Structure 1
Amino acid sequence: MMTRRRFSGLALAAGMTAALAANGSAVAADKIVLGDMNSYTGFASFTIPYKQGWELALEEINASGGILGKQVTVVSRDDGAKPADAVTVANELVSREGATLLFGTLLSHVGLAVSDFAKQKKVIFIAAEPLSDSIAWQKGNRYTFRLRPGTYVQAALLAEEAAKLPAKRWATIAPNYEYGQSAVAAFKELLKAKKPDVEFVAEQWPALGKIDAGAAVQALAAANPDAIFNVTFGGDLLKFVREGKVRGLWEKRTVASMLGGEPDWIDPLKDEAPEGWLVTGYPWYAIETPEHVKFREAFQKKFNDYPRLGSVVGYAALYSVKAAMEKAGTTETEKVVDAFADLKLGTPLGPITYRAIDNQSTMGAYVGTLTVKDGMPRMVDWRFGKGEDYLPPDEVVKKLRAKE
C-alpha cells in the first residue's frame, strides 16, 4: 500500500518534471533564463566590454519589471573560441541550465556552429557579433538572428570611400577563416563594381592568432600595391601595424581596414595607431545623439570606463530579446521567432529592424579616417551608414537563402 508521504513525494516529483518539460527549468515559472556564450578568454578586449553591455541592459530591464513581468537571469559561459566546444556549451545551456534562448559568440565559424545547433534543436540564437554573412544568408535558418552589420555592409562602406582614391593596385590581408574570406570577397566585388579598373595584386592569409607579421609585411611590400585592404584584428592587428611601421609599409600607401576604428581592437596601440587609414569603427567620444549619450553615461557610471563597440552589441542583444518576447507576449520559441519578423527597437546607435527576409538587423556602422589625438586612436571625418542602405537587394537575398 502506498503511504501518504510516498504519494506526496511522487506527486511533487511529477509536478517538477512537468514544469521542467514545459518551461526548461524549475525556476522558469517566475524567471526567464537566457544563455550567453562568447570567447571571453581568447578575445577579452572585445568580449568583456560586450558582457558589460548586456550586464547593464540586464540591470535596467530587471529594474523596470523584467520581461513579461518576470525577472531575467543570464547564465554565461566561455565558448572556447572553438566550434565543437561552443556546441557543447550551447547544449548544456539549454538542457542543463534551462535557457529558453541563446545569444552571443564572436568568431564567425563558432557562430555558424551554434547557428546549426539552433536549427537542429529549434532554439532561438541571436548571433550578436559574428560578421560572416553566410550566417544570415547561405547558411541562414529560421531560428538564427544576426545583430551586427556583416562583412558585406562594412565592406560596402569601405569600398565606397576607397573608390574615391586614385589607388588602382590593391593587396589584401585577412585571417584565413570564414570571416576573413567573406570580407575580402565582398570588398573585391564591391570595389570593382564601383571602380572596374582596380586590380588585386597580392593576398596574405595568416592563420587567426598566429600571424608572422614580418613575413606578411615583406610579401605585401614586394607586390608594391597602391593600397591595402586589411581585415586582421586583435593581437594580429597590433603586430601587423607595428611591423608595417618598422618596415615603412604605410608610407605613401592608403589602408582600408575593416574594424580598424573599433576601440576594442585599436586602442591598445595608443599613440602607435596608424594615421590616415580608412576604417569602420565606433567613435564613442563624438556621437551625441540622445540615445547614445544616455547609454554612454549609464555605462561610464556603472563601470567607470568608456564603452567599446562590443558594449553596444551586448546591450542591444539583450534589448532585442526583450522586444521580441514582449511583442510575442510569451517566451514560447515559435511565437518569439514569429515576433522577430520585422521587429523594431531602439539601440544606442539608433533604431534597427530585424528583417523578415533574412533575420538580419539593419544596425549600421561608422566609417571614417583614423588619427591620434591626446595619445589615443580617434576616428575623424566619420559618417554613419544605415544598414538598410547598404544591404543587397531583396531578390539577391532571396536567392542566397533559397536553400534554407
Structure 2
Amino acid sequence: MTGRARVSRRASAAGLGALAVGLGWLGTAGAALAADIKVGEINSYSALPSFTEPYRKGWQLAVDEINAHGGIGGKTLVVVSRDDAGKPGEALTAANELVSREGVVLLAGGFFSNVGLALGDFAKQHRIVYVAGEPLTDALVWSAGNRYTFRLRPSNYMQAAMLAEEAAKLPAKTWASIAPNYEYGQSAVAVFKKLLSARRPDVTWVAEQWPTQGKIDAGPVAQAIAAAKPDAILNVEFGPDLVKLVREGDTRGLFKGRSVVSFLTGEPEYLDPLKDEAPEGWIVTGYPWQAIHTPAHDAFLKAYQDRYHDHPRLGSVVGYALIQAVAGILRKADSTDPETIVAAAEGLGFDTPFGPASFRAIDHQSTLGAFVGTTARRDGAGVMENFRYVDGAAVLPPDADVKALRPKE
C-alpha cells in the first residue's frame, strides 16, 4: 500500500465515546505542532494480507475517530503508509522516504520481527521514535532495545509465559517444535523452552523442524515430527503455512493423541481459513471476538462492524490500538521534538479494546495482554473456548532482569 489516510473532522465512528475520553481526546496541542501531524506507517501488506488488511482497517478507523474528536489538539492526524513487502531493506527505504520527504514526526507499524529490528535500529540511528505494532521478538525492546523504540503487542516472552503456564499442567514429558526459520520463530521456541523447563525440569525435547517462512513443505515436516514420537508439540507456524501443516498433520495422524501448544493459532486471521478443519483442543493465544463482552470491546466491535460490515481480526485491534496510542503520545508531547516524544511515551497509559495498557518506562514494552484458551469447532468454524485474558504486566520478568537484558545507552 502506498498512500495517505486523512479523515475529515466531520467523520464519526459511533460507539467509541468512552474510549475517546479514556485516551484524553479533550486535550490541547501547543504551537510547536504543524498544521497536519504526519505519522509514517510501514507494514507487510503484500506479504501477509490476512493480518495486515484487517490491521489497516483498524488504524483507518482510529484515524477517523481521532480526527472526528478534534485530531491532535485541533490538528489533523495524517497517516502516510508504505508497504515493505516483508523485507527489511524495503522497510528501511520506506522509513528514509517518510522521514526525509514526508516529514513524519514518528514511525509506526511493522509485522515481521526481522523488519521490526531493522526499523528499531533505524529509529536509534536517526533519533526518531518508532512504535512497533506487531513484531514480537524479545530483542526489539531488550537486547536490541533503544531509547526511541516502543512496542504495543505482547512479546514472545509474554505469550510464551502465558502458554508455558498451561503447558506445564500437561502430563507430556517429551516435546517437539515446529517454527519458521527466522527471528520470530527462533526466539519464540527458545523462550518457551526456557520458561517451560523452569516449571517442568523433567521435560525433554526430542525433535525440531525449521521450515522457511511462507514455504513450508508440510508433509515431510509432519512426518519427521511424528517419527520422533513426542508427547506434545509446540507450534509457531501461522498464516498459509499453518493451514498446510494442519492438513498434512491430520492426514498423517500427527496430532492424534498428542497435546499441541500453539502461538497465535487462536487469532481469527489464522483460525478462520481452516473452517471445519480447525484443530480441536490446542492450547493457543488468540482473539475470541465473538465472546468478549466489555464496554471497551463492545464499542470497538460496533464501530468496526458498522464501518466494514465484517468482524474484526486481531490485526484490526492492533492497528486501532497502535494509532490511538500514538495519538495519545503526540497529545502529551505537544511537540515534534523526538526527545519530548520519548518522554511523553514512557509510562503513558492508553485505552484499547482489550482494556487499559501502558508503555513501561523501563523497556518501552506495552502491558497490553492476550487471550489464552483452547481451540474448538463450532458450526463448521474454528473458535476459542475456555479462554481468559492475561494482563501483559503479569507475565513480564522482574525489573532487574530487564535492566540486565537492555544495552546501556
TM-score class, shorter-chain normalisation, is over 0.9
Contact map agreement 1:68 1:325 (CA 8 A) in 2: no
Structure 1 residue aligned with 2:367? 362
SS at match of 2:291: coil
Structure 2 residue aligned with 1:196? 201
Q: Matched residues in 1 for 2:256 and 2:269: separation?
A: 25
Q: Matched residues in 1 for 2:78 and 2:35: separation?
A: 11
Q: Matched residues in 2 for 1:29 and 1:40: separation?
A: 29
Deviation at 1:403, TM superposition (A): 3.9
Structure 1 residue aligned with 2:65? 60
Structure 1 residue aligned with 2:305? 300
| Residue ranges of structure 2 left out of the alignment (5+ in a row) | 1-32
Q: Matched residues in 1 for 2:354 and 2:287: separation?
A: 10
**1:8-19 matched pairs, under 5 angstroms:** none
Structure 1 residue aligned with 2:3? none
Structure 2 residue aligned with 1:223? 228
Structure 2 residue aligned with 1:116? 121
1:342-400 C-alpha deviation (Å, 9 max, x unpaired)? 10011001100100000000000111000011111100000111101001110000000
Deviation at 1:266, TM superposition (A): 1.6
Q: Matched residues in 1 for 2:160 and 2:34: separation?
A: 45
**1:5-404 matched pairs, under 5 angstroms:** 29-404=34-409
Contact map agreement 2:368 2:392 (CA 8 A) in 1: yes
1:48-67 C-alpha deviation (Å, 9 max, x unpaired)? 10010000000000011101
Q: Matched residues in 1 for 2:338 and 2:74: separation?
A: 18
Structure 2 residue aligned with 1:3? none
SS at match of 1:285: helix
Contact map agreement 1:271 1:372 (CA 8 A) in 2: yes
1:286-318 C-alpha deviation (Å, 9 max, x unpaired)? 010100010011001011110111111111111
Contact map agreement 2:271 2:383 (CA 8 A) in 1: no
Report sequence identity in percent. Answer: 60
Q: Matched residues in 2 for 1:251 and 1:282: separation?
A: 25
| Equivalent AA in structure 2 for residue 310 of structure 1 | G
The RMSD of aligned alpha carbons is: 0.9
How many equivalent pairs are there?
A: 377
Contact map agreement 2:266 2:384 (CA 8 A) in 1: yes
Structure 2 residue aligned with 1:5? none
| Residue ranges of structure 1 left out of the alignment (5+ in a row) | 1-27
Deviation at 1:97, TM superposition (A): 1.4
TM-score norm. by structure 2 comes to 0.91
Name which one, 1 or 2, has greater alpha-carbon Rg. 1
Q: Matched residues in 1 for 2:44 and 2:275: separation?
A: 24
TM-score norm. by structure 1 comes to 0.92
Q: Matched residues in 1 for 2:126 and 2:60: separation?
A: 27
| Equivalent AA in structure 1 for residue 403 of structure 2 | K
Q: Matched residues in 2 for 1:210 and 1:71: separation?
A: 42
1:164-215 C-alpha deviation (Å, 9 max, x unpaired)? 1101000001001110011001110111111110111101001111111001
